[in-house]
Amino acid sequence: MKTIVKSTLILASLVLLFSCGKKTEETKVERKNITEMVFASGTLKADDEYNLMAQTEGYITKINFNEGDEVAVGKILAVIDNPQSSINTKSGSKLLQIAKANTGSNAPLLQQSKANLNAAKLKLQQDELLAVRYKKLVESNSIAKVEYENILIAVSNSRASVSALEQQYQNLLVQANQQVIVQNQQLENSLVLQDFN
């Protein structure tokens, strides 16, 4: 009985051993034209292919290359028409001129501020002269002390007004200079964007 079991096991092992070894077919690769359509999702890209994106929007008015051309670094490949860029540059140039004019001594806002400051200085001088006169009058008991105190308050108010107007003039000058910087930067940005065309 043991020999039958042994022979069955050997026979089963041999059958298993020969059944696992299947032969594979080998074929050679051949180049042929595709004759069937294949639908697949994905992207085919060639070696050394580059995507170029415009840095500005507009319409392409000129193309300076042909398909398959080698392109040198820095070569202009296309010209884009973007009228808004030209308008922004012209506008920026005019706004910069206005901003520069607003920093000059003839700028209307600065002239008005300076006129207000000069008027306040004249009023301060007048109030100081009155204070000197009133002091003499108070010392000679010709007027009430309250009148002298009122003129001292007027002098103090005039000094505060002169100080505030001087500060206002300086602030206007700083703002005008800041506007020049802002307009200059915007013009430079517009020029850069226009060069992208």
Q: How far apart are CA 71 and CA 48, in angstroms?
A: 12
| Vertex 160 angle, CA 104 and 147, to 5° | 140
* Residue 19 included in any domain: no
* Residue 105 included in any domain: yes
Q: Taking 90 as the threshold, does the pLDDT of residue 167 lie above it?
A: yes
* 131 compared with 80, residue with greater pLDDT: 131
* Residue 46 included in any domain: no
Count: domains in the chain: 1
3-state SS class at 7: helix
Which pLDDT tens digit goes with each residue over 65-95? 888 788 888 887 778 777 777 777 788 888 7
Contacts of 2 (CB under 8 A, 6+ apart): none
* Residue 89 included in any domain: yes
CB 77 within 8 A of CB 63: yes
Using a pLDDT cut of 90, give the percent of the chain over it: 17
**What are residue 83's DSSP bridge partners?**
none
* Residue 47 included in any domain: no
CB 159 within 8 A of CB 124: yes
Q: How does the average pLDDT of the chain come out, rounded?
A: 80
Residue type present at position 171: N
Average pLDDT (167-193) is 84
Average pLDDT (154-175) is 90
* Residue 17 included in any domain: no
Greatest mean pLDDT among 15-19, 50-54, 84-88, 169-173 lies in: 169-173
Q: How far apart are CA 193 and CA 197, in angstroms?
A: 7
* Residue 159 included in any domain: yes
pLDDT at 101: 81
Greatest mean pLDDT among 53-57, 158-162, 171-175 lies in: 158-162
| Vertex 157 angle, CA 154 and 159, to 5° | 110
Average pLDDT (135-151) is 89
The token duo for 166 is 């001087």
Which pLDDT tens digit goes with each residue over 37-74? 667 777 766 676 667 777 777 788 888 888 878 888 88
118: containing domain: 84-195
Q: What is the DSSP string of 100-119?
A: HHTTSTT-HHHHHHHHHHHH
Confidence of residue 157 (pLDDT cuts 50, 70, 90): very high
Work out the angle between the directed axes of helices 108-139 and 145-195 (0-180°, nearest 10).
170
* Residue 153 included in any domain: yes
